[in-house]
Chains A and B, each alone.
Chain A
Amino acid sequence: MDFSALLDPFASVQIPLADLANDFIRWLTSNFRDVFRAMKVPVKILLDLLEDGLRDTPQTIIIVALSFFAWQLVNRATAILTFVAMTLIGLIGAWDAAMTSLAVLVSAVLIATLFGLPLGILCSRSKLVWIIVRPILDFMQTVPSFTYLVPVILLFGIGNVPGVIVTAFFATPPLVRLTNLGLKTVREDLVEAADAFGASPVKRLWSVELPLARPTIMAGINQTVMLSLAMSVIASMISVAGLGRLVLVGISQLDMARAATGGTGIVLLAMVFDRITQGFGLTRRDRNGKGLWEQGPVGRLRGLLAGNRIKT
């Protein structure tokens, strides 16, 4: 027995991690090719729909429609912010890239929410699910975002659709975590009160727990949006088009102009996108007791119509 082997064990004993990873990915691609292909289909449909829609619509109409949407959903200040930000994006020449990014972003956030929210709810209901999911979330959140790219290329290829998938994957964990946290920290006596009046678990979740966890869940959505945007530059390495690519090209060619355009575009888009998504979490009370359709442009229109009816 050679003593030096004891003092320097890793020279002779090693786990073949590299080989294992290789074998695993090869096994996945050869056995589940169809599954991964099938997964791309709905993402592609969603993305195409959004991208074509955004690109084919005249710029003025998009700016105005988006501003009105922001006004209806949130308030006038957000509408003004939207108008100014979108106009600026056009003025700095980032419009086309921004539309592509917006399509990728909306798809990714939608998918992340679609999976993250129910998973977060499930985690808060069942200890077992949380025990299983928690280390996976830890893993997903600590692995450097670049690392995701290799398996994604191998499994899904390159382009916008894999870009949406990798972005959604990257942006889901905080939503799961915060949904779970929000639901678990709802005041216990308020939950008990719902039970005491005979609410079923679903009813209790829907009308007591989720509304009370809303601020925490909305913080999760905010994280998802922000991470998706942060991912846009990294995702452009697998040939995702959009603002991220401007920045990437800017870096690789030391082209300050493009980097600045792309960067500014991302910041502006982030602001608009976050304010509007937070609007989905507003309650009647946040709107001063008005329903969604009693405020904003629709509310005004209804007011006018009602006024006319009284006059005639």
Chain B
Amino acid sequence: MANEHPVNCCNLWKIFGARAEQALEAAKSGEVDKDEAFKRFGCVIGVADASFSVAEGEVFCIMGLSGSGKSTIIRHVNRLIEPTAGLIHVEGRDVMGLNPKELRELRARKIGMVFQHMALWPHKTISENVAFGLEVQKTPKETRRAAADDALERVSLGGWGDRYPDELSGGMQQRVGLARALAADPDILLMDEPFSALDPLIRKDLQDEFLKLSREMKKTTLFITHDLDEAMKMGNRIAIMKDGRIVQTGTPENIVLRPATEYVSRFVSSISTLKYISAVEIMTQGGTAPGAREFGPSTPLPALLKAFSEGAEELTIKDGDRCLGRIGSAEILETVKSDLARV
């Protein structure tokens, strides 16, 4: 593939059912949609024509409602399920072209996965759970134990290694799931709604913890969620899914400010755009304000507001030496008013 992103999916289709091939033809030509495919062929369209790629070190969020095909997509990346059509490349290699041994190698060394329902093995201790990936790679026991303790330390569960999963709370179990994915130090993380089952306070803690970890460790992450706020918070980029299709891909700003479809705009309507608006979008073009403080065109609104609260009357927006425009209190008021009207 031309671009060598660590994870690359191209025109991915997954159709469940005995007559998948026929349903695929019909769906490709646009003859049938998800409901129609089920009625005519008894097939469920899990993923329809999804393309995306995750850049190195990026957190890429896939967001969609229940049943929209998020888990189905993510399980293609390490080939836990096989596509009906389409290409999946991981670190430049076609995962469908791997033989069983190479596939196991890829899963063990390159990819760590966190599951929607934790999926910890109840008969293994926490550290045996965490070290399983290394056990599979036949790492010596001592090294394994040390790596497990290390990974548990990272998710602030040091000292819990000898307990069993059912002795831990839900939040702790989910952290064990994260530690298990990190233990073998993979380059790619697949996270299927890792925080959805948790209550809001714990979820926020874990989100912050993960953001910190991911900044430190720079793992390429595919992060699944059904919660737009979470996607906004975690993702460098977001893909929004509906009925198996990716309807829009973009940065959080992009999604909020320029929703591509009616569906996306309904979704983002509950989110205030204020955080994502930048200077260039609200300034009045031309006309400088002499003596005013100067800001770049992509300065976010909160930073502008701070300048006002520090006593500025007007701001000049400059791109390098070139004057672009100015912002006064009128522009700010207008922005807030339109944001309020939107919701």
Contacts and interface: CB of A to CB of B under 8 A. Distances in A.
A198 interface: yes
Interface in B190-232: none
B137 A198 contact: yes
Contact of B119 (A193, A200, A289): A193
A214 to B, nearest CB: 8
Contact of A193 (B109, B121, B184): B121
Contact of A211 (B115, B119, B123): B123
A208 B121 contact: yes
Interface stretch (B21-29, B43-51, B100-108, B142-150): B100-108
Interface string B265-293: 00000000000000000000000000000
Nearest to A289: B162
Interface string B55-84: 000000000000000000000001010000
Given A189-B115, A203-B136, A285-B164, A197 B123 contact: no
B179 interface: no
Contacts of B124: 207
Contacts of A283: 123
A196 interface: yes
B13 interface: no
Given A189-B117, A193-B113, A285-B164, A198 B123 contact: no
Contact of A197 (B117, B122, B133, B164): B133
B294 to A, nearest CB: 52
Contact of B132 (A197, A212, A285): A197
Among B132, B133, B135, the most chain A Cβ lie within 10 Å of the Cβ of B132
A190 interface: yes
B108 A190 contact: no
A152 interface: no
Contacts of A208: 121
Nearest to A193: B119
Given A194-B132, A211-B123, A199 B113 contact: no
Given A283-B123, A285-B164, A198 B80 contact: no
A192 B80 CA distance: 7
Interface residues of A, number: 21
Contact of B107 (A189, A196, A285): A196
A238 to B, nearest CB: 43
Contact of A198 (B104, B115, B164, B180): B104
Contacts of A285: 123, 164
Contact of B133 (A189, A198, A211, A289): A198
A255 interface: no
A195 B123 contact: no
A197 B119 contact: no
Report the contact-size class of chain B (Cβ under 8 Å from the partner). Answer: 20 to 34
B104 A199 contact: yes
A197 B121 contact: no
Nearest to A211: B123
A196 B78 contact: yes
Interface in A145-196: 187, 189-190, 192-196
Interface in A283-310: 283, 285, 289
Interface in B110-166: 111, 113, 115, 117, 119, 121-124, 132-133, 135-137, 162, 164
B148 to A, nearest CB: 13
A279 to B, nearest CB: 17
B119 A190 contact: yes
Contacts of A207: 124, 132, 135
24 contacts: A189-B115, A189-B117, A189-B119, A190-B121, A193-B119, A195-B107, A196-B80, A196-B113, A197-B113, A197-B133, A197-B180, A198-B105, A198-B106, A198-B108, A198-B109, A198-B133, A198-B136, A203-B136, A207-B135, A211-B123, A212-B121, A212-B122, A283-B123, A285-B123
Interface of A: 187, 189-190, 192-200, 203, 207-208, 211-212, 214, 283, 285, 289
